[in-house]
Amino acid sequence: MNRQILPISALPAWARFNNVAFQNTKVDCIDSIKCFGLITEKTLGSNCANNVSTLVIVPSDLVLSVKLVEEYAKLNYHFHQLLEKAGGRSRREDIMLYLLMQLFIGSQSNEEKKFGPSSPWTEYVAMLPAEIPVPTLWRSEELKMLKGTSLEAALNVKLETLQQEFDNLYEATKEIHWCEKYWWKANKLNLHVWIQLDAWFRSRSLELPTFGEVMVPCIDMVNHSKNSNSYYESTSDNGVCLLLRPQLELEPNTEITINYGETKSNAEMLYSYGFIDQECQILSLTLPLDPSDNDPLIKAKLDAYPGSPMLRIYFEDKCVKWKSPFVYFMCLNEEDGLDFKVLQQNDGHQSLQVFWQNLDVSKKTDNFESLIIGHHLYIIFELRVVTILYDRVEQQLFQIKQSDEIIEQMQIDGVATNKATLLENDIVKDYLYFANTPTEAPDNCGYESENDFS
């Protein structure tokens, strides 16, 4: 899709036209890593909790929520068709469809057919970065660096989900004439575009009590800091404002930051935003558990368990700790007293029931540790649990070692490629030629030195 691109210098005019108020602040270049961010234009201060400085105000009609998506569908017949056929699966996908429509409208030339009215977001998405450093958009050689980490499995699942969503979008819209002509037949819409839309949403969305997860223009330009100096909240008219934290004073050209999530681990930050917070104190690792194929009850256990089989390892109170409710369920066998039964309902549906020591524990499968305490074989169950955890950690360490070897090889390959490129340079060739060409000793013009400096 030939995406319309606008420079960030167009943002002030866009903001004025759409009633976004920057109060003594502006979006400007921060550095080569963060690129753009919000900075102060003059000295700002908040003396107390009741006297805080407002930094940015965004009106409610710009907040990209499900409500805005539904309102736009009433104005744009083509988008109404799209939303009716492909929407309704989730809030996130509906917002992504809206962003897709704005991209499409913005990509149309004046000579081409228009597909409904534009919106403020048509121009705003044209100012969003094309390069988003989240792992779903990494190159294949970069993805090798995640091998052995807790993100590897999660990323694979995410990419499979995005592929399935894109396939669903195609199946739902291939019969819509304009979608077939301008997207699929013209090969203008591909999986990369869908992944980019998802990356925009994940890396720029905010959680608001009134709307849930939304996108807020301009405030989504604010970068993260663990020790943030501002925060956002809803206004009385359902808009969003950015406020300076109390009892702070900022000098001119100071970057304004928010905290993307105090409880998010480095893995979550990298997954959602594409960076690791060096100041993050949350040291944790979440690993998927691989149930044994040799367990005849494993399918029933997975069906009866209310979540995903995971192991969380974390550092707390100067100690390494772990948490995995599923592993206590996973380690039990039929001869221990575990049993499954299928109950036939009156309406014809079937439900799986779980029994432990002949007691129905179907609603307690995520708390089996409390059920087996006091059992005469409890120490044996604990040994099984520890063995499972030991094997999983050992497997992870082996994968990390392989990952280190891959990264080391990538570094070697990178140096070799750089060397080969330099050797093709004409200046380098000339230098090496003269350096390797023997030269005759200069004539001393008959002067005989009395000193030997050889």
Sign of the dihedral through C-alpha 207, 213, 218, 221: positive
**Residue 245 included in any domain:** yes
- Average pLDDT on 201-211 reads 91
Same domain, 63 and 164: yes
Burial of 112 (0-12, 13-18, 19+ CB in 10 A): exposed
Same domain, 245 and 382: no
Residue 79 to residue 351: CA distance in whole angstroms = 41
For residue 148, is it within any domain?
Answer: yes
pLDDT for 32:
64
State the residue range of the domain holding 42.
8-273
Please report which confidence band the pLDDT of residue 452 belongs to, taking 50, 70 and 90 as the band edges.
Answer: very low
Strand partners, 439: none
Does pLDDT of 406 surpass 70? Answer: no
The answer to whether residue 450 scores a pLDDT higher than 50 is no
Tell me what pLDDT residue 175 has.
Answer: 94
31 with 116, same domain?
yes
φ/ψ of residue 67, rounded to 5: -60, -45
Tens digit of pLDDT for each residue in 20-73?
999 999 999 887 666 899 999 999 987 655 567 899 999 999 999 999 999 999
- Comparing C-alpha atoms, which of 231, 207, 216, 219 is closest to residue 61? 216
Give the pair of three-digit tokens for residue 252.
């001119």
Q: What is the pLDDT of residues 159-177, one digit of tens each?
A: 999 999 999 999 999 999 9
Is residue 314 located within the same domain as residue 225?
Answer: no
pTM of the model: 0.72
Considering 353, 369, 393, which residue would you say is the last residue of a domain?
393
User: What pLDDT sits at residue 448?
Assistant: 46
**126 and 45 both lie in a single domain:** yes
Amino acid at 62: L
Q: How far apart are the first and last CA of the chain?
A: 71
Count CA atoms closer than 13 A to 2's CA, side-chain side. 6
Domain-located, residue 30: yes
Is residue 15 domain-resident? Answer: yes
- Residue 176: inside a domain: yes
- Interior/surface letters 139-166, b for 16+ CB within 10 angstroms, e for the rest: eeeebbbbbbbbbbebbeebeeebeebb
| pLDDT of 144 | 81
N residues, the chain: 454
Residue-wise pLDDT for 135-147, tens only, equals 999 998 888 888 7
Give me the pLDDT at residue 111, please: 54
Residues 121 and 229 in one domain: yes
Q: Are residues 55 and 117 in the same domain?
A: yes
Same domain, 324 and 246: no
Q: Please check whether residues 79 and 135 belong to one and the same domain.
A: yes
Band (223; pLDDT cuts 50, 70, 90): very high
Residues 196 and 61 in one domain: yes
Q: Give strand ranges (E) for 202-293.
A: 205-208, 212-215, 223-224, 230-234, 240-244, 248-250, 255-258, 284-288
Burial of 230 (0-12, 13-18, 19+ CB in 10 A): buried
Residue 172, φ and ψ in degrees, nearest 5: -75, -25
pLDDT in tens, 119-132: 999 999 999 998 89
- What's the domain count of the chain? 2
pLDDT, averaged across the chain: 86
Task: Report if residue 151 sits inside a domain.
Answer: yes
Domain boundary among 253, 273, 293: 273
Over residues 244-271, mean pLDDT: 88
Q: Are strands 223-224 and 255-258 parallel, antiparallel or unpaired?
A: parallel
Q: Is residue 416 part of a domain?
A: no
Here the CATH number for the domain that contains residue 28 is 3.90.1410.10
User: Quick one: average pLDDT of 196-224?
Assistant: 94
Which uninterrupted H or E stretch holds 122? helix 120-124
Q: In the chain, what percentage of residues exceed pLDDT 90?
A: 57
52 and 155 together in one domain: yes
Q: What is the pLDDT of residue 282?
A: 67
Mean pLDDT of 73-94: 95
Average pLDDT estimate for 261-278: 83
Let me know if residue 444 belongs to a domain. Answer: no
* Higher-scoring residue by pLDDT: 352, 437: 352
Greater model confidence, 345 or 156: 156
DSSP-derived letter for residue 441 is: P
Same domain, 372 and 306: yes
Alpha helices, DSSP H only, in 174-282? 177-179, 191-204, 266-273
Query: Is residue 278 predicted with pLDDT exceeding 80?
Result: no
